[in-house]
Structure 1
Amino acid sequence: MGAYVIDSALFRDQFSTAQMREIFSDEQTVQRWLDVEAALAKVQARLGIIPQAAADEICAKARAELIDLPDLKREMDRTSHPIVPLLRAMKKVCSGDAAEYIHWGATTQDIIDTGTMLQVRDALDIIGKRYAEMEGHLVKLAATHRDLTMVARSHGQQALPITFGFKVAVWVEEIRRNRERFDAMKARVLVGQFSGAVGTLAALGDKGIAVQEALFEELGLGCPRIHWHVSRDSIAELACVLAICTGTIGKIAHEVYSLQKTETAELEEPFAMGKVGSSTMPHKRNPPTCETVVALARLVRNTAPMALESIMAEHERDKIVLQTEREFISRLCCMCDAAALKMNYVCANLTVRPANMERNLFIQRGLLMSEAVMMGLSDRLGRQEAHEIVYEVCMDVFERGGDFREALLANPKVAAGIDAETIDRMLEPHGYTGMAGLFVDRVVGKVGAE
């Protein structure tokens, strides 16, 4: 087992995905550093700052497979520096004096921050696609079950009837808001860093801005108006937005988990023969996927405070902040991706149990419909008086047992103004879902789409 779950061959797929691990692998981290160095040399040659031949050689040799990673690691340990050993390694593989022109006017943090943004961009592309897929699965669920009546619950207790499609449509809208946050955040986060030692680009004289703009155009990143060496608010926003997005996924997973409980049994995460719930209780059908998603959401959420702490950076450079980010950025992206992938699987293959939803509408023997009865009595008795009467009847049924309908008919104040047929209509849950269906249509795009 690895020192951390993402490194564990046994547990890594619960907390990450192969794609995300590859993006943040040592090989890809070094490659992204080299990509920045190569792009920098390319645009500097174009601007006449370094020889074209040197830039061509740097670009040709800026390949991680040419770098001896174990030796690079030894040099990083010896020098306590990440980029100087890389520059020395490049000098070994570049012919002539080409390596003398690598890293021209740059500082280490320029390369590392920009390399990280290239990795984050790749990560967000994958995560964003997963969110889009999830929205599609949920829209289909909402439309399919638009009119499937079920119990709504508040404070953990039965409240009123809704439809399952209505419940899912609420999830859809939250996912959509998160996708809007996600896309808006990318414009602020996916910004390169090339500013020199303290952000002034002094080493490049009057060509600094031209190099900066050309470099980020080459790399496909945003160009900052001023350096962000110690302005880590964009990293904090990345963590917070991903925490919100994964929180929504965790909320949906927890709802499936809750509604899969034996006594409720209205939903179930995908099951296939061979999936084992317990080593001692063969009958168990647990929701391990949803449980893992909820755990991931909590872990991601706990990354946000560290990212917010990193905003408080010192002077013009603060390695304490950078070391903190080095620990959590890859972990954050890995866990977000794992949560989204797992929840896509659940949403695409969710088992919905209409018979159990129907059963649960009646387990309180009519009490679910107390609001409908109260509103029906309000025209004759006034709302508050009707509430008091229905409350007393409900509490008596709750404590003594029995049937809500029979208790209503036995109450003289109720029976004086409403006949049994009217009470029966009031106690019909399928006719008391309000505008649930219309709201579903609005969300899935059938009515009122903008």
Structure 2
Amino acid sequence: MIKRYTLPEMGNIWSEKNKFQKWLDVEIAVCKAWNKLGKIPDEALKEIIEKTHIDDETVERINELDKVYNHDVLAFVSAVAEQVGENGRYIHLGLTSSDVIDTALALIMRESLDLLIKDVEKLLEVLKENAFKYKNTVMMGRTHGVHAEPMTFGLKFALWYEEFKRNKKRLENAREVISVGTISGAVGTYSNIPPELEELTLKELNLKPEPVANQVIQRDRHAEYMTALAITASSLEKIAVEIRHLQRTEVLEAQEPFKKGQRGSSAMPHKKNPITCERITGLARVIRSNSLPAMEDITLWHERDISHSSVERVILPDSSIALDYILNLTINVLKDLVVYPENMKKNMDKSKGLYFSSKVLVALVEKGLSRDQAYDIVQRNAMKAWDTENLMFKEALLQDPEVMSYLSKEELDKIFDVNEFLKNIDYIYNRVFGREYS
């Protein structure tokens, strides 16, 4: 992922240096296991642990050897073995490349998910805070982009909060699924290493053994990681698109923060564009599209090929880095979101009270009319109000003798109380926030 969209902590997790460090962690865990099984002497193990390391110079040496070997694992093994000397021969004993790569990749993905889960937890805090902050901020609910019935702005945040509880669970499930390793040798048959070595190694790394691995950990696990990221990114895009709509000049009910000194357009100095939310949308598309090759990676030839390898070098770091980035962008947007309750009220008035039509319909049916009769009466007056300048829906109803033969003015006044739409908000909040709500 390009530096522009890379935050330091996640960038370090997916750095080349950390990759080699995780490879070394696996190799040392294997050496410790061999030592317990009597294969590597104590002094040799001590020297391996003390002398092997990954720094910038080691990374440079690995890359230098890779240009000769055209095999990064062998280049890595040679580079760290050089640090030890004669006892370096014990490093990578009995292993195949996938034992190291796949087990280390599980460590990196787990580390990555730990950070992403923390990001989601921070976002949940902001969503909850805004849900309660705007719990009673009345606005127009829209369906098909058209005014429907009143709701509150806080309900949007409650809905997103509930969705991100599911996203957190998806990421936690993915963490469980990818936290496996394999130390089983070529085609996974333990031909040069005992199964006990795998048990000891993975216990050291706090990973579970892949029950059957052939030569690689099966890529349905990695696909689950990627789809969890893709769904989470899509949820972020949903929030971003909503804000982009609400920021439109003719709507202007909410607006992403615009910092002091920020400039919106090279040509039009008046512009405040929703560029952050648009960036969230764009990177969500990248993450989502990367989930498809992850699923295609599930199908490998026989016991192993490396068609997945080049794909994963791109999609795993890029998607993890991008999701970390847009999660933090969303947190920042929502923390400082600019909200215009007065515009919400003005926009509601543009409907001329037509959103009460459903309640008038129900009231007429309760008076004994058939649904079709009631619908025709309400629709007739709704269209009259819509097509007549300065005529509100309620006034149209009051002027209709047929309506007034069934409903009194007092009954209409009660029907046209916006709070009737909001009477069950507490019920919804209790379901979402549980005992935390009071």
TM-score > 0.5, shorter chain as reference: yes
Pick from 64, 84, 106 the counterpart of residue 54 of structure 2: 64
Report deviation, 1:433: 2.0
Equivalent positions of 1:294-313 (< 5 A) are 294-313=281-300
Matched, 1:110 2:99: yes
- The whole-number CA distance in structure 1 between the counterparts of 2:436 and 2:26 is 49
Where relative contact order (Cα < 8 A, 6+ residues apart) is larger, the structure is 1
The answer to whether structure 1 residue 218 and structure 2 residue 197 are counterparts is: no
Q: How far apart are the structure 1 equivalents of 2:411 and 2:224?
A: 56
Q: How many residues align?
A: 435
- The match for 1:421 among 393, 401, 410 is 410
Contact 1:267 1:353 in 2 (8 A): yes
Determine what percentage of the aligned residue pairs are the same residue: 33
User: Whole-Å Cα distance in 2 between the matches of residues 448 and 68 of structure 1?
Assistant: 54
Show the counterpart of 2:181. 192
Matched, 1:276 2:282: no
Greater shift, 305-314 or 43-52, is seen at 43-52
| Residue 384 (structure 1) shift | 2.9
Shifted more, 378-387 versus 165-174: the winner is: 378-387
For residues 118-267 of structure 1, the aligned pairs below 5 Å read 118-204=107-193, 208-227=194-213, 229=216, 231-267=218-254
Residues 87 and 429 of structure 1: CA distance in aligned 2, closer, same or farther (over 3 Å): same
Q: Deviations over 1:73-107 (max 9, x none)?
A: 23223322111111111232113x21111011211
- The alignment's C-alpha RMSD in Å is 1.9
Q: Which amino acid aligns with 1:101?
A: Y
2:18 is matched with 28
Whether the aligned pair in 1 keeps the contact of 2:264 and 2:273 (CA below 8 Å) is yes
What CA distance in whole angstroms lies between the structure 2 residues aligned with 1:86 and 1:43?
20
Partner residue of 2:336? 349
For 1:299 and 1:193, locate their aligned partners in 2 and report how far apart those are by CA, in whole Å: 30
Secondary structure of the structure 1 residue equivalent to 2:140: strand
Q: Could you say which residue in structure 1 is the equivalent of 2:422?
A: 433
- Summarize deviations over 1:255-310 as a string: whole Å, max 9, x none: 11211112111112223221211112222112222111111211111111110111
Distance in 2 (CA, whole Å) between partners of 1:353 and 1:66 is: 52
Tell me how far apart the structure 1 counterparts of residues 56 and 289 of structure 2 sit (CA, whole Å).
38
- Give 2:28's aligned residue: 38
The match for 1:335 among 322, 337, 348 is 322
Paired with 1:340 and 1:66, the residues of 2 have a C-alpha distance of: 30
Q: Which runs of 5+ in 1 are unaligned?
A: 1-5
Q: Which residue of 1 aligns with 2:302?
A: 315
| C-alpha displacement of 1:147 | 1.8
Q: Which amino acid aligns with 1:278?
A: S
Select between 37-46 and 401-410 the one with higher mean Cα deviation: 401-410
Counterpart for residue 384 of structure 2:
396
Q: Is the 1:35–1:62 Cα contact (8 Å) retained in structure 2? A: no
Tell me: CA distance 1:93–1:66, structure 2 relative to 1, closer, same or farther (3 Å). farther
Name the CA distance, whole Å, in 2 between partners of 1:399 and 1:47: 88
- Say if 1:45 and 1:51, in contact at 8 Å, map to a contact too: yes
Counterpart residue identity of residue 360, structure 1: N
- What amino acid maps onto 1:385 in structure 2? Q
Structure 1 partner of 2:41: 51
Query: Is 1:19 matched up with 2:9?
Result: yes
* Offset of residue 411 of structure 1: 2.3
Q: Is the 8 Å Cα contact of residues 246 and 336 (structure 1) preserved in structure 2?
A: yes
Deviations 1:385-421 (Å, cap 9, x if unpaired)?
2122212222333344432122212223212222333
